[in-house]
Amino acid sequence: MAELSRRRMLVSGGALGALGALGAAAPAHARSLLDWTWSPSGSVAGAGAGADPRWVWDAEADPLVASLLDGGAVPEVNKLLWNWTRNDQPLPAGLPADLRAFMEKARQLPSWADRGKLETAAEFNKSRGLYLNLLNGVGGGMLSTAIPKEARSVYYSKGGADMEDRVAKTSILGFAVGALDAYRPEGSCIVEAVKTRLVHAAVRHLLQQSPQWTGDIPISQEDMLVTWHTLPTFAMRRMRDWKVPITPAQSTAYLHVWQVTAHLLGIRDEYIPATWAAAEAQSDQVLPPNMGPTPEGVELTDVLLGQLAEQTSPGSISRPLCNALARYLVGDQVADWDGIGREPVWGPLVTAAWPALVKFREGLVPLPLVPEAAWVLDEAARQYILFYLTKGKETKIEIPTTNRPE
């Protein structure tokens, strides 16, 4: 492992000690005390074997990508897929036959996908993009670094060595989900989800060859569910906390766009929650035992918040403000696990000001053209973030061929 700073190690250790005996238990030990009890009857499939998702991975993608990596075919595959960008675009010529067959199947929307709900979700994103970008980007990012298995898999995989590039590529998928044309023919969400599924399969194969990786095969179905809940489930809960007006149709549609995305990422239908009640029940089962502090998570958090501060206002007081905002979004326990400092000035200000800002903003949303104007501003912010992270270079999701250089 790359040398972690003594300060970060101490911060992580301090947070661990503050949790007491239960918190000090490794997440794997905490999880072993709780059998998988979430019923597949609450899934979009409505039924299933009920197997513990800790021991389920991606039976279709994993052997295929492993064979591509072992055969040295991935660089050429990445080259061929570079310009595959639209949902309705044919796959490029020259792909290995088994990969083409897999991708043609993987790019199909599930039979239960509802075009009307996907369009409603796009309209919801138009007026709520500010909250969703903040919650999925900053909030989801801080939660992910407090998930030991995810933090370690990011840190020791290729992306951990260049977090700007890693965040840019993660943002590509996140922004695709929230785009107005996400699942329209001209959109890109199907493309980015299928590419991400291939990346996950590669990371599973490669990390098991790393001397730094110990434990189970990474990115199990449970691991993907845990990450999934740090995005839509977390975002919906926080918007409800902020009393953001959301109609039942909007709520259902927002869940649906993430259900479809989960399917395309390779999560089995029997694990994808059918309702928000089922999602919250599943989240309450899988998130707490899979969260906690790690040195890797603390270091990644420091990098992520440093990037956010630079994007916001280089050379200013923005890092303390970003610390305060991150702590407000995810709460004190997760912030302590992540080594996010407490800000005595900005902390109380953010806590007091944000609810007032939401209330003011929601008073304006029903006015004519306000959702459209909000979308323009949010889209400009997304493009700025990607431009900053990529230094203006074209960046796309690619299958890795190595782990983090040591």
Per-residue pLDDT reduced to its tens digit, 266-276: 999 999 999 99
Between 41-50, 326-335, 382-391, the lowest mean confidence (pLDDT) is in 382-391
Residue located via tokens 């610390």 = 323
Confidence of residue 170 (pLDDT cuts 50, 70, 90): confident
**In angstroms, rounded to a whole number, what is the distance separating the alpha carbons of residues 35 and 56?**
15
Q: Is the pLDDT of residue 22 over 60?
A: no
**CA-wise closest residue to 41 among 369, 285, 270:** 270
CA distance 225 to 219: 9
399, 65 Cβ separation under 8 angstroms: yes
More confident residue, 70 or 318: 70
Element (H, E) at 30: helix 27-32
Give alpha helix (H) positions in 182-315: 189-207, 221-228, 234-241, 248-264, 276-286, 295-312
User: For the residues 26-54, what does the mean pLDDT come to?
Assistant: 80
Q: How many helices (H) and strands (E) does the chain have?
A: 20, 0
Q: What is the pLDDT of residues 371-393, one digit of tens each?
A: 555 445 455 445 444 444 445 55
Are 189 and 87 in contact by the 8 Å Cβ rule? The answer is yes
Instruction: Give the tens place of pLDDT for each residue, 67-110.
Output: 999 999 999 999 999 999 999 999 999 999 999 999 999 999 99
d(CA 177, CA 260) in angstroms, rounded, equals: 10
Mean pLDDT score, 300-320: 70
pTM of this structure: 0.85
The residues spanned by each domain of the chain are: 58-390
The answer to whether 138 and 338 are in contact (CB under 8 A) is: no
Alpha-carbon separation of residue 31 from 25, 27, 357, 405 (angstroms): 10, 6, 39, 31
Tell me which residue of 89, 82, 80 sits closest to 107, measured CA to CA: 89
How is residue 2 annotated by DSSP? P
User: Which DSSP category does 25 fall into?
Assistant: S
